[in-house]
Structure 1
Amino acid sequence: MSIFWGVMIPFVGTVLGAACVFLLKNEIRPLIQKVLLGFASGVMVAASVWSLLIPAMEMSESMGRFAFVPAAVGLMVGIAFLLLLDVAVPHLHMDHKEPEGPKRGWSRSVMLVLAVTLHNIPEGMAVGVVFAGMMADSAEITLAGAFALSIGIAIQNFPEGAIISMPLRSEDNMSKEKAFLYGAASGFVEPVAAGITILLSEVMTPILPYLLAFAAGAMLYVVVEELIPEASEGEHSNIGTIGFAAGFVLMMVLDVALG
Structure 2
Amino acid sequence: MGRLSFLPAFIGFWIGILFLLLLDHLIPHLHVGSEQTEGPKSNLSRTAMMVLAVTLHNIPEGMAVGVMYAGFLAGNTPITAAGALALSIGIAIQNFPEGAIISMPLRAEGESKNRAFWGGVLSGVVEPIGAVLTILAAQLVIPVLPYLLSFAAGAMLYVVVEELIPEMSQGEHSNIGTIFFAVGFSVMMVLDVALG
Q: Which runs of 5+ in 1 are unaligned?
A: 1-62, 234-259
The amino acid across from 2:121 in the alignment is A
Pick aligned residue for 2:127 from 178, 183, 190 = 190
In 2, the alpha carbon distance for the partners of 1:158 and 1:136 equals 30
**Whole-angstrom distance in 2 between the partners of 1:97 and 1:225:** 14
Count, aligned residues: 168
Give the match's secondary structure for 1:200: helix
Give the 5 Å matches for 1:1-259.
63-170=1-108, 172-229=109-166
Query: Which runs of 4 or more aligned residues in structure 1 lie more than 6 Å from their structure 2 counterparts after TM superposition?
Result: none
CA contact (8 A) 2:13 2:150 kept: yes
User: Deviation of residue 188 (structure 1)?
Assistant: 0.5
Query: Which amino acid letter does the alignment assign opposite residue 10 of structure 2?
Result: A
C-alpha separation in 2, matches of 1:74 and 1:191: 21
Q: Deviations over 1:145-176 (max 9, x none)?
A: 11111111112212212222113323x23222
State, as a whole percentage, how many aligned pairs show the same letter.
65
| Pairwise CA RMSD | 1.9
Q: TM-score, normalised by structure 2?
A: 0.78
Asked whether the equivalents of residues 69 and 84 of structure 2 are also in contact (C-alpha less than 8 Å), the reply is yes
**Distance (Å, rounded) in 1 between the aligned partners of 2:43 and 2:19:** 24
